Amino acid sequence: MTPGGVGVVGNSGGYLEAPPQQVRSRDGTKYRVVGLGRLRKLLQPKHLYYEGAEGYIDDYAYYDDNGVHLCYPRLKSYSCEHPERPLKGWHKRNPYHKHLLRQKHVAKTVKKLQALGVDKFAVVVLTLPKEVSTWLSQQDGDEDMAWRLFKRFWNKDYSTLDDESSGQAAYVNLHKWKTKCPLEPHYHFHSIIPGYRLVDEGIQDEDGNNALKLEEKPWHKQRGGQLVPYSDEALDLLKQKWHSRLVAFARRHGLKGDWMDGYKGIDVFVEYVVWDSDIGKAKLINKLNYQSRHWLEDYAEYSNGHLDCEYPPGWLENYSNSAHTFGWWSRMKSVVAGVDMNSKEKLSPISGKPMEYKGTISLEGLLRVSGGKLGYLDFYKGKPIEGEMTEEDIKWLRSVMWHPPS
């Protein structure tokens, strides 16, 4: 089974095989700063909106990942009112802080999934048409309305795709913005759906309640032998049902659009991830990170290249992008009650395996032990990109080292 696949339901007729993951770099660097690209974009954004919310690097925590040392910046920020001392916490508008928070949350989520033993997932993205997105952005209760739409789809439509669709679970985020231009509304749902459902075991427990268990949901074999989450019929039905929900929503609120005439005008994207390899675990970690990201991250990247752009609009500025859970995912906390979620064990972004913590080190210390040859590890759409830092990269890292502002 391959680690994953992707397709646009209806328009492509199924799944397309995902591009292969890149193998470890052979550039010779043994010490690599993780997320250098995002660090440069998010630590000290250039737009006036982020004035006073800058972060600084204090030192690096580094881990052994199969012979390569992965280095994670440890950061500080400061208060404009008291610039002589760093903050204990972070400025709430610093996008790199948001980036770090979601990484910690994702690590805990992955530990729960590992404890349950679930190892295959459908990744479904449901989009809303431009007319609906624009209208929602103008309403005070836009989030509640959008989530009610999804809940109706989940409870009444998704659970009836086939005979084995009930009892499933989902981890869902609502994105309200366009990635490339966060100032434009583009409402869509990112969903991770484990390939397991909660079923009645046919016996009663000691309290007289029906005992339940997680049962693997059969996937469907394509002509080439590849197993995928949905049959062609279920894929088509999924899109039809989502389209019907959208049409009913639009009519209820007096909205119109050409997309209402046929469901093929609505995009539904489907991928799948399987933990039958280390790459599969890392792919899911990156998927969870992607859908959990805060809008401040995308706005920082966009505004860095558009310094004269407007401040974030009201429909976006107070949005937290908190995940909603459905089905048995909502009860996972009790299922994994014996699992230590406070462990500082860090998972490799390459393999998903635990890494060995080696300690903390300064930038100058890193340059000494590496002989001045530092590398980086970035990700693009879940794929690792590794290479050697330039002199300009190292100069920038020096420029953002923590020092009490004068």
CB 387 within 8 A of CB 25: yes
Query: What is the structure's pLDDT at 116?
Result: 87
Distant-in-sequence, close-in-space partners of 200: CB < 8 Å, separation ≥ 6 = 210, 211, 212
Q: How many CB atoms lie within 10 A of CB 182?
A: 24
Query: What is the structure's pLDDT at 16?
Result: 33
Query: What is the structure's pLDDT at 345?
Result: 78
Model confidence pLDDT, tens digit, residues 144-178: 999 999 999 999 999 999 888 889 999 999 999 99
CA-CA distance, 367 to 350, in Å (whole number)? 23
Number of Cα atoms under 13 Å in the Cβ half of residue 119:
10
Model confidence pLDDT, tens digit, residues 298-327: 999 999 999 999 999 999 999 999 999 999
**pTM recorded for the entire structure:** 0.86
Candidates 373, 379, 375, 374; CA nearest to 350 is 379
Query: What is the structure's pLDDT at 233?
Result: 93
Cross-strand partners of 17: 5
CB 77 within 8 A of CB 94: yes
CA-CA distance, 369 to 60, in Å (whole number)? 13
Query: What is the structure's pLDDT at 107?
Result: 86
CA-CA distance, 405 to 51, in Å (whole number)? 14
DSSP 83: T
CB 78 within 8 A of CB 402: no
Query: What is the structure's pLDDT at 347?
Result: 84
CB 269 within 8 A of CB 6: yes
Query: What is the structure's pLDDT at 1?
Result: 37
What is the dihedral sign for C-alpha 336, 287, 387, 364? negative
Query: What is the structure's pLDDT at 23?
Result: 39
Query: What is the structure's pLDDT at 14?
Result: 40
CB 227 within 8 A of CB 15: no
b/e map of 339-378 (b: 16 or more CB within 10 Å)?
A: eeeeeeebbbbbbbeebeeeeebebeebbeebeeebbbbb
What is the dihedral sign for C-alpha 329, 334, 339, 345? positive
Residues in the chain predicted with pLDDT less than 70, given as ranges, are 1-28, 77-90, 201-211, 278, 334-344, 381-382, 404-406
Query: What is the structure's pLDDT at 130?
Result: 95
Candidates 191, 204, 202, 193; CA nearest to 166 is 193
Domain boundaries, the chain: 4-29+92-346
CA 248 to the chain's CA centroid: 29
Query: What is the structure's pLDDT at 336?
Result: 60
Six-digit token string for 315: 């429909």
CA-CA distance, 352 to 246, in Å (whole number)? 37
CA-CA distance, 319 to 174, in Å (whole number)? 10
CA-CA distance, 299 to 284, in Å (whole number)? 24
CB 50 within 8 A of CB 279: no
Six-digit token string for 396: 């920038």
Query: What is the structure's pLDDT at 209?
Result: 63
